[in-house]
Structure 1
């Protein structure tokens, strides 16, 4: 799937964050929001979205997806509990944006819970693009090569790749599914910044993406 161009918030990466993914390298200030997201789970292998009860833990808003859409997140367990917590909330940040698309509203609880500052304003504009075109998406998006760089106890950076080759834009009115996408454009490189709030939630504050990045392609 080739998602419409989105997030134009330029993510400034400091020297601390040479986020060279084992397959995904360098960031980009362009924003072609690639594979949309959906959930986070525990386990050593690829994980799908959390159940509503999981999301409600510790007062967190639930995130609900339709049955025909799914995000899969690889590499949930790094062996470092601090990094694992960042990755879990990174996945929920992605899920929150997708849920807003599915619900046709940028005013969902989860969107502003997991995304703040530039990331929130960019995500709202992105979701609104789907709403204006009466679009949604279906299928499976895979997130992989997710790498965390911690900066102190309350700041972090996450770089990761997405594979949208099995997810597609669908128009809600016509029901038409768009499968016209070049294979190279199905892969997107992301760089994100996160800050841990007083409640211990890692909120995404900024994001940049580059569609078709060679480092994310097989």
Structure 2
């Protein structure tokens, strides 16, 4: 089952050269502690922590909420570098912001414009609007893993990661019908993202390219 369309693949990411496919399969991925959760995310208590929901709501950050039948799971290990870890944390909140907009059928949510800007925001607005126009949402679980982060300077970051959508499914909002078609290799996606740190210290996603069915992300 392919929850996400291939809309983002058309974007041009200036940092692509810095984000090689070797990012998937790196030793940087680990699952987060159960007591340190991201809004809308599930975690594994035996591994390293992901950014907390309380952190995402502090300093004027918008609260992100998910319905009870959907969750994102982010698996990565903190690097020990404060800037890299902040970029990783905000990249996951950008993912959650997109999904919250889908759940709310609203391209104008505060979190969407808070964590995403520039070409990425334009693309994600179009992406969310497709769900709205089709009267659809999603349920289940999406797993994000094999993270790699690079900081060429103090205000620029490149983050790559994979997603596993094999356990998330399209749901028709009106009928409530869920499409549980068997997963294919296209349920696995490689993401290359570019982030910029703004004046408030938020690492905003500015550009993104996705590659659905990429072999580097296959189980």
Task: Give the TM-score of the pair, scaled to structure 1.
Answer: 0.86
| Structure 1, 199-208 or 38-47: larger mean CA deviation | 38-47
Give the whole-Å Cα distance in 2 for the aligned partners of 1:187 and 1:214: 8
Q: Verify the 8 A CA contact 2:140 2:167 in the aligned structure 1.
A: yes
How do 1:10-89 residues align onto structure 2 when only pairs under 5 Å count?
Answer: 10-13=12-15, 15-18=17-20, 20-23=22-25, 38-39=40-41, 45=47, 50-51=52-53, 53-89=54-90
**CA deviation profile, 1:65-114 (whole Å, cap 9, x unmatched):** 00000001011412222211110000000000000000000000000000
Q: 1:196 to 1:42 in 2, by over 3 A?
A: farther
Q: Does residue 154 of structure 2 align to residue 153 of structure 1?
A: yes
2:142/2:163 contact within 8 Å kept: yes
Distance change in 2, residues 1:68/1:195 (3 Å): same
Mapping 1:1-218, distance limit 5 Å: 1-2=1-2, 3-7=4-8, 8-13=10-15, 15-18=17-20, 20-23=22-25, 38-39=40-41, 45=47, 50-51=52-53, 53-218=54-219
Residue 48 of structure 2 contacts residue 78 of structure 2 at CA under 8 Å; is this kept in 1? Answer: no
For the aligned residues, what is the CA RMSD?
2.4
Bigger relative contact order, structure 1 or 2 (CA pairs below 8 A, ≥6 apart): 1
Gaps of at least 5 residues in structure 1 are 25-36
Work out whether residues 18 and 158 of structure 2, in 8 Å CA contact, stay in contact via their aligned partners in 1.
no
Partner of 2:35: none
- Residue range with higher mean Cα deviation, 116-125 or 7-16: 7-16
State the TM-score, normalized to the length of structure 2. Answer: 0.85
Task: Report the count of equivalent residues.
Answer: 205
Gaps of 5+ in 2: 27-38
